[in-house]
Amino acid sequence: MTTTEIRGYCTLCRSRCGTIQVVENDQLVAMRPDMDHPTGGAMCMKGKAAPEIVHSPHRLTRPLRRTRPKSDPDPGWEPISWDEALEAIAQKLGTIRREAGAEAVAFSVTTPSGTPLSDSIDWIERFIRVFGSPNQIYASEICNWHKDHAHAFTFGCGIPPADYAQADTMMVWGHNPTNTWLAQANAIGQGRARGAKLVVVDPRPTPLAKAADAWLQVRPGTDTALALGLARCLIEAGSYDADFIRAWSNGPFLVRRDTGDLLRACDVWPDRSQAGFVVWHAEAGGAQPYDPAVALNADAARGLWLDGTVTVTVAGAGLVCDTAFALLRRAAQPYTPDEVARITGVQPPALMAAAQLLQGGRRVAYHAWTGVGQHTNATQTDRAIATLYALNGSFDRVGGNRIRTGVAAQPVNARSLMPESQWAKALGLDERPKGPPAMGYVRALDVYRAVLDHQPYPVRALVSFGTNLPVAHGDTALALQALQALEFHVQLDLFETPAARYADILLPVNSPWEHEGLRVGFEISDAAASLVQFRPRMVSPRGQSRSDNEIVFELASRLGIADDFFGGQLHAGWDHMLAPTGLSVAQLRTQPGGVRLPIDARERKYALTSADGVAGFNTPTRRVELYSETLHRQGQPAVATFVEPAEGRRQAGEGDSLFPLLLTSAKNGYFCHSQHRGLPSLRRRAPEPVAEISPALAQARALADGDWIRLSTRMGSARFVAKVTPGLADDVVVAEFGWWQACPELGRDGLPVLGTVSSNYNSLISAEDADPVSGSVGMRSFQCEIAHDTANDARQRKWTGWRPFRVERLQPEADGVLSIHLVDAEGRMLPDFLPGQHVQIRVKTGDGEIERAYSLSDAAVVPQRRGYRISVRHQRGATAAGVAFEGRMSGHLHTHLHVGDRVELKAPSGAFVLPRHSPQPLLLLAGGIGITPFISLLESLPDGDPAEIWLYYGNQHGGTHAFKARIDAHRRRLPGLRVFNHYAQPRAQDGLGIDFDSTERITAWCPAT
């Protein structure tokens, strides 16, 4: 056996943790953190499950073509060659482009922040732009756009990486890095070790929230009001960084009351060649021109009037103007601590504690993500948080949010690849000209309307790179209609998803461990930003799967654009990217840990000078924009403004009280978006779709922890398992999204994306109401109601704690093996369970109480269930020294338990479960009483079930052979069941070939895998 350890990095999420892969005979067998990598300090359970992804038996391994209508739930897939698939795709896309323009082909691209698409996103976007389509469904409006682009309305850039490790205060807002970005969580731990304080803004009592110095438990969708309340605290106390605001923001700039525009120097002094804007200088006695290309020294800046209203003479008349800072102060003024508490639920002491930790002079590092980005007021929320951060003055400082001018690489997805005339055709651009459509990132809802209604023009085809539209976006019913109506649909994925079932051609994509990758710069630290790393292929591609890059390069060649893809040579493309660095792929191959190159990590780069003056910020005023003229000219508030979430306004306007609760969502740390629920090691840890509710809400709705509930909105309903979470607000429901995938290995069936048994969160959400700038949707602030799910008999709900049971029957199964039939002492109905699960039993003896757990050995599902069966071996024997021993519980059950006795049970539970429907053979190995979970499985299968099951059962001899007759009966009724009995010490009456098959070890007989 050949074992190799290969250095690389994980691409399952934004953290991109450095890893070491262990490979044996072309099989990925393990993955662990690379402690020498700048992002390798830890690794999550998803990363550890990498071998299950690579070797999943449920993966797509061949190109497939649909043979049945899209209205048929069975696509009738037929395997085709790669040549057939790619040629058919190229011909169809080329035809549609000639007939209707490239805009008639939409592309959907999954997120590189939560999938391995980070290996290929740049090349996919290059393909889209060279092809000529301005329509890319990227979910940017509900993911990265606000932190990466709306932030630029204030600072001219996205949120830079937070320097948590050197901060005085760390703030995470709508972001839980322990679940989504482990490298960040590790850096927060370093900051805590140094003594940094922690502020957490989150509706949920997460571990980080509980550990925070200030936990602001905000009502979902009211974050803008909270940020304005914090800003008010800093302004009122004078604890903001006034020097930074005067010198480096447009706070002192004068704003015309008549137009809302910034006053220009040329308006006041038309006879001079004055550039820039106008400020009021108290010492100079009036209006002064302000050239943002010139940096003011501290003394000069202090003379600027920051807060007030003045009258400036313009064209011989008095023009009333306010400073931008004054407008901010007025916008924040209503948000007193009491008003913030009324709107957001955050109480004044917590608000004031957080404000003290955010005051100017403290080095503050922060990050905000989807918790604030998935609301209909998301743009203004980002503006408010960015404004608050500007008041602190930590931008681009050690211990703040750092701009690192990283490794220079040649971009391959530049805007110039597509003519501006095509960019202008992006769906939704007219409504949101400063939002994602300006970058070709369009909303799924706009594409659905173009497909179904041909508005503003028809979209005829969709090429989807891993996107699962019915689960990832709202308006699920409309998504299914659009997917069914498409003239042509290509899906690329590892697994057959709900979206993939509507494809005309389905292409198998391989996992990141089956292809090469290149990363120019990581995140979180100077060392990470400076690293360039080539990731080699770890194992060969499974089946006929290919990487996204391979597919894109091949399609480019067939569409006649090979020259834009380096003659179809990916390595040549990578060398083109690397050219400015002086590196090549060949060089990087020899450096498995990567190469570190110089970066510019100087502080306050906005204060550096260049040929055209001080660098400033990449905004129209060259300063941090507390007042955004850009937004003002789009009819949007120029200073951060709180607007109630659209769903709440809609309900208030309609007088509808059907949905009094507020629905929000959070990522489950074991899965990435709608992926990974088919991986047994992860699904065991989170087997059911969960909705968290407070104890008071559970009591008000007569619900218990573990109950199946029906969660309803105006869009429909879905099923979740209630999780009672102390500390959650009483009017908030936090439900998980992304549920559809089966896990046959654990007996977990797939779930539909719509209907009475669906658990699809996004089927409850509509994108009809949207943020006016970005198009974001109220995925985390939707009105809802909950109730017990009537599909589950309330009488069969799981109970909590101990419940009394009565011994109904005692049945010997073999020498020293006793089956105990237990019924509820009060005759109540009982919940079913999954094969392999167990119950805990408690009995009272003269020596006190004893508790043990035993596998259930009866059928998992029984109509009108009233009882359970456990089967117990009497544990007894002698030690090597000849001292007799006996198990306390098993001894009591075998020698003191009688019919009619009372015991206590906890409800069935356990992560070890066995599948009732498995697409692959089951190999069951049992010794002695270890047969009990397998007996439960066999009892649970219907007559004639074709499942292929290989049971190898070891015993001492026929006398200890438990369930022998019952297993023989199962063998007769289950055609796929093969049983092999192994006796270690057969008795004289035990017949070879009759009672047992071998005296050898079971492992000698197991089939090769």
DSSP for 334-388, written as a single string = T--HHHHHHHH---HHHHHHHHHHTSTTS-EEEEE-HHHHSSTTHHHHHHHHHHH
Task: Determine the 3-state secondary structure of 478 from DSSP.
Answer: helix
Nearest to 536 by CA among 576, 589, 594: 589
Q: Helix axis angle, 444-453 relative to 476-485, nearest 10°?
A: 50
In angstroms and rounded to an integer, the radius of gyration of the C-alpha atoms of the chain is: 32
Nearest to 40 by CA among 21, 23, 27, 53: 21
**Which fold is adopted by the domain 161-392?**
Dimethylsulfoxide Reductase; domain 2 (3.40.228)
What's the pTM?
A: 0.92
In angstroms, what CA-CA distances link 904 with 177, 356, 842, 899, 909?
41, 53, 5, 14, 15
Are the C-beta atoms of 487 and 67 separated by less than 8 Å?
no
- The CATH class of 64-148+408-595 is alpha beta
Nearest to 202 by CA among 598, 666, 761: 666
**pLDDT value at residue 63:** 99
Rounded Cα distance, 931 and 910, in Å: 17
Q: Phi, psi (5° rounding) for residue 518? A: -135, 130
- Exposed, middle or buried by CB within 10 Å (0-12, 13-18, 19+), for 96? buried
Question: Tell me, what DSSP letter sits at residue 907?
Answer: P
Per run of 10 residues, the mean pLDDT along the chain (length 1009 residues) is 90 90 96 94 90 96 98 96 98 98 98 86 97 96 94 97 95 90 86 96 96 98 98 98 96 97 93 84 86 86 92 93 98 98 98 98 95 97 98 97 91 97 98 97 98 98 97 97 98 98 98 96 89 96 97 97 96 96 96 94 92 91 98 98 93 81 94 93 94 98 94 97 97 98 91 96 96 97 95 80 96 96 95 95 92 97 94 90 89 95 96 86 94 97 94 96 96 96 96 94 75
* Long-range pairs, 494-497, Cβ under 8 A, ≥24: 494/53, 494/56, 494/59, 494/60, 494/466, 494/545, 495/56, 495/58, 495/59, 495/60, 495/678, 495/741, 496/60, 497/468, 497/471, 497/674, 497/740, 497/741
Helix, strand, coil content of the chain in percent (nearest 5): 30, 25, 45
Tokens of 374: 């998935």
Tokens of 506: 């389905």
Rounded Cα distance, 963 and 953, in Å: 11
Nearest to 32 by CA among 2, 8, 52, 54: 8
Chain centre distance of CA 90: 33
Which residues pair with residue 951 across a beta bridge?
A: 924, 979
Tokens of 927: 């010794």
Q: Phi, psi (5° rounding) for residue 925? A: -115, 120
Q: Looking only at Cα atoms, what is the longest distance across the chain?
A: 121
- Which residue, chain included where needed, has tokens 């404000």? 355
Task: Determine the 3-state secondary structure of 863 from DSSP.
Answer: coil
Chain centre distance of CA 739: 12
CATH 2.40.40.20 applies to domain 646-792? yes
Rounded Cα distance, 509 and 542, in Å: 9
Rounded Cα distance, 277 and 288, in Å: 9
Number of residues in the chain: 1009
Q: Give one DSSP letter per residue of 562-600, joined into a string.
A: GGGGGGG-HHHHHHHHHGGGT--HHHHHT-TT-EE---B
- Which residue, chain included where needed, has tokens 């924040």? 332
Chain centre distance of CA 724: 22
In angstroms, what CA-CA distances link 330 with 112, 236, 719?
40, 11, 45
Q: Phi, psi (5° rounding) for residue 596? A: -100, 130
Q: Checking DSSP bridges between strand 169-173 and strand 136-137, what pairing results, if any?
A: unpaired
Task: Determine the 3-state secondary structure of 768 from DSSP.
Answer: coil
Task: Determine the 3-state secondary structure of 314 from DSSP.
Answer: strand
Q: Give one DSSP letter per residue of 123-192, joined into a string.
A: HHHHHHHHHT---EE--GGGTTHIIIIITHHHHSS-PPPB-GGG-SEEEEES--HHHH-HHHHHHHHHHH
Nearest to 515 by CA among 54, 933, 978, 984: 54
**pLDDT value at residue 1:** 65
Within 8 A by CB and 6+ apart from 619, the residues are: 152, 153, 154, 155, 156, 625
CATH 3.40.50.80 applies to domain 922-1004? yes
> What is the torsional sign of CA 837, 839, 840, 841?
negative
CA atoms within 13 A on the CB side of 575: 10
Task: Determine the 3-state secondary structure of 873 from DSSP.
Answer: strand
Are the C-beta atoms of 709 and 788 separated by less than 8 Å?
yes
* Long-range pairs, 703-706, Cβ under 8 A, ≥24: 703/786, 703/788, 704/797, 704/798, 704/799, 704/800, 705/800, 706/797, 706/798, 706/800, 706/907
Task: Determine the 3-state secondary structure of 121 from DSSP.
Answer: helix
Tokens of 402: 């750092």
Map 492-552 to HEC letters.
Answer: EECCCCCCHHHCCEEEEECCHHHCCEEEECCCCCHHHHCEEEEECCCCCCCCCCECHHHHH
**pLDDT value at residue 296:** 84
- Exposed, middle or buried by CB within 10 Å (0-12, 13-18, 19+), for 1007? exposed
Sorted by where each begins, the domain ranges of the chain are 64-148+408-595, 161-392, 646-792, 803-905, 922-1004
* Equal fold, 64-148+408-595 vs 922-1004: yes
Question: Tell me, what DSSP letter sits at residue 1007?
Answer: P
Map 741-759 to HEC letters.
Answer: CCEHHHCECCCCCCCCCCC
Are the C-beta atoms of 235 and 391 separated by less than 8 Å?
yes
**Which fold is adopted by the domain 803-905?**
Elongation Factor Tu (Ef-tu); domain 3 (2.40.30)
